[in-house]
């Protein structure tokens, strides 16, 4: 037989036919064995081929010279890895060079027992089992590895039957990816599902990443490639996106500490960049990046340098982002966070600050709790300028640089003010009785401001004698004055014996002297006339007085047009005003738009009572 004939037809006979899934080098080996030779490499060299290294494409071209039916030639071509630019083409599939190996022969003994030929998927490095028989692939026979120089599929070089080689069962391990590979390479078609549009190389790259990352006992580094389990990663990869995000989030929280996650993505997922840099053109990389970056943004600190990824929901915010979300200037927020000690381990030396979800929630609650000093009236019962006495004394912390709702000025915590009031009123159990001085009146009695009186109470040098729970803050406090106590007792005794009546001059003197002591804000004439007015020094509150022989009446008008400011105060606190003037007679004005409150005084005890009423009206309306 001439050399030219051998080159044209590498074998003298071709009674063997290529099987589905059989690559060129597997069929070439069977033909060498059928020719009666024991070395594929020697035979290849004898017919002018390179027998030193397996070259699937060269062997395929040689076999295509055989007079085989085109169907068999197509089988060989579809099952033979054809090397292109860094990838093997395998039918309609692609595999990276490192994902395929021809160095040694691996095989399933049970498959060889059924039919003696080599299956191409045994050469895919990441596959390690036979999904048909659920056993691990054999890598050696009697302790010896087989290489491609040995062309026989029935026995080893020492004569041991390959079909009887020892293998371990997979024992229930999922072989879904192995089955997918076999199905694709035998049918030439792809399964339905989310991964149908991706090559085997893409799926292996992605599945191997999840295995090397999530199966690692040390979160600080990936598993070595040899320890990766493609099936583990494939089970994660084939989840729907929602389940995949949930599993990644749970793994990060369970396996990566808060401190490491705050250091950033690459500290939490080590080796991520290098892994994908060594696997360019993987079409699943972008999907995995999106899922990991967006999930990590919810549980860690994702650098804003990830310009291609803008997660819609972040678990952490920079100082600037937190400030924008709160509608406040960054400098004010930074100082506020420091005052509240929300980030105790943060370095306040210009380093970038970031807030995780829980810290931002607490920050937002603290901001929402802020009120201006003028808004403390409903809690503390003090005008804004009087409340500032407590702020200046350090009894209430003030926060600056936080223009909540666009309003400038200092802010205080509503919870802190409420706690302060509860502290100073909680120990007082008595309710006020007739003759006690209100908080405002007692401040006047002592000759100090309301703020100074409040400060004395907060410092513990003064304690209220009674508290009216229906009134807010310091306004709820009442105080005993010995002289008043005697007057009150005398009033009660006179009323009981019926000797409380008096002429107009006596009633007026009783009323005037008591009003000057309790509420000096009113200007009251020494002698009454038939009809006149009394009013506060700032003229914000005025009452008409009418007199009779042994009585007089005080009339306060509330009208939406004539006394607009007074009417607005009344509308804002109707319940309180009715409680204060419960002894009065409430009648509509002549035009029926407003109200007249008439306070009648016919006895000395009433004169004293009306002073208490006027004091309450002055505090509420003036």
pLDDT the model gives residue 5:
40
DSSP strands (E only) in 53-186? 82-83, 87-90, 93-96, 129-130, 135-136
Please report which residue ranges of 68-196 form alpha helices under DSSP H: 70-79, 109-114, 176-187
Q: Is this structure's pTM higher than 0.85?
A: no
Cα–Cα distance, 548 to 503 (Å, whole number): 9
Phi-psi domain of 598 (left: phi exceeds 0; alpha: psi -120 through 50; beta: other): beta
Report the pLDDT value the prediction gives residue 535, as an integer from 0 to 100: 87
3-state secondary structure of 319: helix
CA distances from residue 229 to 122, 234, 240, 286 in whole angstroms, order as listed: 16, 9, 20, 22
Cβ contacts of 193 within 8 Å, gap of 6 or more: 238
The per-residue pLDDT for 2 is 41
Helix, strand, or coil (residue 438): strand
The pLDDT value given to residue 156:
94
pLDDT beneath 70: ranges in the chain = 1-9, 302-316, 344-353, 482-500, 622
Q: How far apart are CA 401 and CA 471, in angstroms?
A: 32
pLDDT at 284: 94
Mind listing the pLDDT tens digit for each residue in 193-237? 889 999 999 999 999 999 999 998 887 889 998 899 999 999 999
Interatomic CA distance for residues 424 and 458, integer angstroms: 6
Q: Which helix (H) or strand (E) holds 355?
A: strand 354-356
Write down all domains in the chain, each with its CATH number in brackets: 3-181 (no CATH), 199-314 (no CATH), 329-422 (no CATH), 429-483 (no CATH), 497-621 (3.30.1460)
Q: Angle between the 200-214 and 230-237 helix axes, to the nearest 10 degrees?
A: 100
Q: What is the pLDDT of residue 218?
A: 84
Give me the numbers of helices (H) and strands (E) for the chain, helices first please.
27, 18
**267-317, pLDDT tens digit by residue?**
889 889 899 999 999 999 999 998 998 888 888 776 555 445 454 455 567
pLDDT for position 483: 46
Q: Are 325 and 317 in contact (CB under 8 A)?
A: yes
pLDDT at residue number 196: 93
Beta bridge partners of 144: 141
Residue 486's pLDDT is 46
pLDDT of res. 494: 46
Report the SS3 class of residue 193: coil
Q: What is the per-residue pLDDT for 348?
A: 45
Long-range contacts of 417-425 (CB under 8 A, 24+ apart): 417/371, 417/376, 417/379, 417/380, 418/379, 420/380, 420/390, 420/395, 420/396, 420/458, 421/379, 421/380, 421/472, 421/473, 421/474, 424/457, 424/458, 424/464, 424/474, 425/464, 425/467, 425/476, 425/477
């Amino acid at each position: 037989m001439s050399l030219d004939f051998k080159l044209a037809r590498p074998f003298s006979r071709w009674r063997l036919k290529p099987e589905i899934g059989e690559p060129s080098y597997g069929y070439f080996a069977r033909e060498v064995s059928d020719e009666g030779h024991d070395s594929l490499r020697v035979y290849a060299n004898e017919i002018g081929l390179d027998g030193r290294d397996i070259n699937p494409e060269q062997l395929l071209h040689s076999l295509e010279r055989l007079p085989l039916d085109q169907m068999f030639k197509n089988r060989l071509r579809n099952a033979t890895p054809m090397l292109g630019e860094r990838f093997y083409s395998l039918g309609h599939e692609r595999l990276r060079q490192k994902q395929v190996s021809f160095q040694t022969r691996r095989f399933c003994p049970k498959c060889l027992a059924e039919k003696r030929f080599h299956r191409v998927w045994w050469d895919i490095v990441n596959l390690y089992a036979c999904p048909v028989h659920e056993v691990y692939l054999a890598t050696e026979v009697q302790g010896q590895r087989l290489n491609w120089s040995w062309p026989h599929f029935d026995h080893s070089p020492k004569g041991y039957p390959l079909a009887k080689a020892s293998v371990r069962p997979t024992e229930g391990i999922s072989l879904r990816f192995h089955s997918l590979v076999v199905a694709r390479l035998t049918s030439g078609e792809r399964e339905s599902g989310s991964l149908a549009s991706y090559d085997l190389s893409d799926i292996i790259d992605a599945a191997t990443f999840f295995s090397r990352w999530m199966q690692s006992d040390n979160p600080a580094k990936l598993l070595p490639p040899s320890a990766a389990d493609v099936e583990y990663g494939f089970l994660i990869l084939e989840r729907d996106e929602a389940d995949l995000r949930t599993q990644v989030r749970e793994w990060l929280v369970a396996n990566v500490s808060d401190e490491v996650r705050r250091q950033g993505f690459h500290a939490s997922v080590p080796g991520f960049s290098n892994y994908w840099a060594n696997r360019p053109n993987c079409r699943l990389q972008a999907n995995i990046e999106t899922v990991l970056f967006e999930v990590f943004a919810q549980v860690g600190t994702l650098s804003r340098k990830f310009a291609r990824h803008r997660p819609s929901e972040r678990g952490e915010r920079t100082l600037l982002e937190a400030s924008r979300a709160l509608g406040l200037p960054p400098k004010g927020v930074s100082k506020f966070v420091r005052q509240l000690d929300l980030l105790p381990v943060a370095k306040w030396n210009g380093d970038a600050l970031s807030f995780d979800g829980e810290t931002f929630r607490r920050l937002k609650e603290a901001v929402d709790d802020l009120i201006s000093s003028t808004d403390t009236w409903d809690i503390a019962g003090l005008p804004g300028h009087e409340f500032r006495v407590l702020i200046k004394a350090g009894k209430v912390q003030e926060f600056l640089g936080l223009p909540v709702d666009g309003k400038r000025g200092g802010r205080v915590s509503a919870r802190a003010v409420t706690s302060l009031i509860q502290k100073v009123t909680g120990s007082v159990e008595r309710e006020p009785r007739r003759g006690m001085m209100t908080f405002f009146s007692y401040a006047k009695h002592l000759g100090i401001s309301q703020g100074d009186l409040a400060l004395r109470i907060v410092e513990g040098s003064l304690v209220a004698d009674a508290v009216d729970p229906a009134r807010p803050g310091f306004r709820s406090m009442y105080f005993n004055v010995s002289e008043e106590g005697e007057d009150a007792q005398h009033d009660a005794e006179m009323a009981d014996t019926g000797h409380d009546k008096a002429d107009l001059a006596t009633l007026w003197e009783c009323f005037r002297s008591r009003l000057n002591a309790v509420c000096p804000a009113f200007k009251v004439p020494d002698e009454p006339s038939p009809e006149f007015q009394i009013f506060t020094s700032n003229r914000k509150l005025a009452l008409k007085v009418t007199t009779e022989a042994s009585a007089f009446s005080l009339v306060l008008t509330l009208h939406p047009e004539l006394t607009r400011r007074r009417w607005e105060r009344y509308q804002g606190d109707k319940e309180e005003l009715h409680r204060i003037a419960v002894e009065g007679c409430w009648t509509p004005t002549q035009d029926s738009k407003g109200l007249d409150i008439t306070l009648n005084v016919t006895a000395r005890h009433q004169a004293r009572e009306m002073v208490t009423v006027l004091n309450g009206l002055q505090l509420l309306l003036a």
